[in-house]
Amino acid sequence: MATVKDIYNFIDSFAPFTTQAEWDNSGLLVGNENSVVNKIIFALDVTSDVIEQAKILGADLIVTHHPVIFK
């Protein structure tokens, strides 16, 4: 089974987090890197609708282009 850390490392392999802007806060913002992931939902932004859809689908992880919180 894949973990959050496995998914993080996979994303980092083609979109390195080290190339982010100085002000950006990319990466794992909420959760546990050791959690097992069976289902992922992808979105542009985390919204209440995206969270609700993740619950309905039984997603273990939400991956977005924009971070949840900038500050």
The model's pLDDT over 9-65, given as tens digits with 9 standing for 90+, comes to 999 999 999 999 888 888 888 899 999 999 999 999 999 999 999 999 999 999 999
* DSSP track, 13-49: HHS-GGGS-TT---S--SS-TT-EES-EEEESS--HH
pLDDT value at 71 more than 60: no
Residue in the block written with tokens 């289902």: 39
State residue 50 phi and psi, 5-degree precision: -65, -45
pLDDT score for 70: 59
pTM: 0.86
pLDDT score for 52: 97
